[in-house]
C-alpha cells in the first residue's frame, strides 16, 4: 500500500467519522431545544411569536457545531492539504 492509498483512505474515513460523531451532539441539542420551545408555546400561546424567534436563533447557534464538522469534512475531502502535499512531492 503506497502513500497515496493511505492518505486517501484515511481522509475518507476521517471525513465520515467527523461528520457522524460531530452531528450527534448538535442534533440531540436541537431536538431538546425544539421540544422545550413547543412545550412553552403550548403552555403560553400568547407568547408564541417571541418564543419562536428565540428558538430560531438558538437553533442556529446549536447548529454551528455540526456545521464546523461539515466544513472540516469538506476540507478533508476536497481541499486536503496532505493530499496536495503528497501530489506535489
The binding site for another protein (CB under 8 A) comprises: 50, 53, 56-57, 60, 63-64, 67-68, 70-71, 74, 77-79
Least distance in angstroms from the C-beta of 3 to another protein? 22
By beta-carbon proximity to another protein, the closer residue of 39 and 49 is 49
Least distance in angstroms from the C-beta of 75 to another protein? 9
DSSP H or E segment with residue 24: helix 3-43
DSSP H or E segment with residue 52: helix 48-78
Nearest-angstrom CA–CA distance, 55 and 78: 34
Amino acid at each position: 500500500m503506497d502513500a497515496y492509498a493511505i492518505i486517501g483512505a484515511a481522509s475518507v474515513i476521517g471525513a465520515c467519522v467527523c461528520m457522524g460523531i460531530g452531528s450527534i451532539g448538535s442534533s440531540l441539542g436541537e431536538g431538546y431545544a425544539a421540544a422545550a420551545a413547543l412545550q412553552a408555546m403550548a403552555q403560553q400561546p400568547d407568547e408564541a411569536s417571541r418564543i419562536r424567534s428565540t428558538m430560531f436563533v438558538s437553533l442556529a447557534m446549536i447548529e454551528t457545531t455540526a456545521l464546523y464538522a461539515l466544513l472540516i469534512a469538506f476540507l478533508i475531502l476536497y481541499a486536503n492539504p496532505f493530499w496536495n502535499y503528497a501530489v506535489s512531492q
